[in-house]
Amino acid sequence: MTKINTVLGPIDPESLGLTLPHEHIVAAYPGWECDPLARQYNQEKIVNSCMKNIEPVKQYGVKTIIDVTPVDLSRNVDVMKDISEKLQLHIVCATGRYTEAEGKWIYFKRRANVKIGDIKTEVYEGFMQEINYGIGQTGIKPGVIKVATGLSRIAPCEETTLRAAAQASRETGIPITTHTEDGTMGPEQADLLIGEGVKPQKITIGHMCGNASLDYQLDVLKRGVYIAFDRFGIEMKMTDLTRISTLLALLQKGYANRIMISHDCIAAVYGRGGRMPMEDAIKFKNWSFTNIFTNILPALKTAGVSDEQIKTMMVENPQRFLSGT
């Protein structure tokens, strides 16, 4: 039987239970560590902050969180492990890389420029190191590969990452989850990964709720992949009401078995902190690890979505995706 890697070790797929498939325990954009006014790192304080934000999901029956933070967004598996032990939640972590514009790529680019290494080969080798031997000295192995593309194009380093991820996935069976920017490049991501030999059922195209076009949604779904409506609560460019409307249209067409839902929430952020202007903050007023349970599911049920459809999206699909079945 296929086992799923968690930060506390491998588990059976049936043990995953109710799952949030696209969240972040701790994360930060590159550069925070260069800020002299950034808050000093203190794991105990970070863990306590994370627990405060994450613990409420337990009352709704959540058993598993998939943390899709790639290494260049300050992934911290030690914090994940601490949270998992204290809250008795399964946490699945990721290997992977972020977009060319916002990730950390200069190291690999310089190595390629002076002909020391090849970017695809070195990124692939990094994925395989973590999948086979664990992250750093922790021994913690990822259960998913995270890849990302930018707005309306796949940049060279992003294409390289997708191809490296596809090779690693083919060889190890680890599935791939993606970041798309504002609901673009979903079909192109799917085509590239499938063209590289990845089975569609091992691919989740992320942030599909950034695009309200039903044609776009169906264009991705016809590839046979999973999709994620995974930014509920982030209403800067798309409202939750619009996301719900699009999701309902897909459910009415019978796609419950190919959709997952989540928040893309971050329990703790590194850096100096600060507050958004009120006009921006109001667009994040529902952004939390519980928004789906307090706002989205009630709205879906009022619209006629069944408990069985919700179970399919939140229990069965994450289980099938992570196990590749």
pLDDT at 280 over 80: yes
* Count of Cβ atoms closer than 10 Å to residue 181 Cβ: 17
113-121: average pLDDT: 94
pLDDT at 224: 98
Question: Which of 128-155 are b and which e, b meaning 16 or more Cβ less than 10 Å from the residue's Cβ?
Answer: bebbeeebeeeebbbbbbbbbbbeeebb
Amino acid in the structure at residue 201: Q
pLDDT at 273 over 90: no
pLDDT at 2: 87
Amino acid in the structure at residue 47: V
pLDDT at 109 over 90: yes
How far is it, in rounded angstroms, from Cα 188 to Cα 183? 12
pLDDT at 324: 86
pLDDT at 1 over 70: no
- CATH at 284: 3.20.20.140
| pLDDT tens string 304-321 | 999 999 999 999 999 999
Pairing mode, strands 4-6 and 9-11: antiparallel
% of the chain at pLDDT higher than 70 = 100
Give 218's pLDDT tier (boundaries 50, 70, 90): very high
pLDDT at 325 over 90: no
- Answer yes or no: are the C-beta atoms of 11 and 3 closer than 8 Å: yes
pLDDT at 233 over 90: yes
Domain count, the chain: 1
pLDDT at 151 over 90: yes
Q: Which domain holds residue 294?
A: 4-323
% of the chain at pLDDT higher than 90 = 97
pLDDT at 268 over 70: yes
53-70: average pLDDT: 98
pLDDT at 38: 95
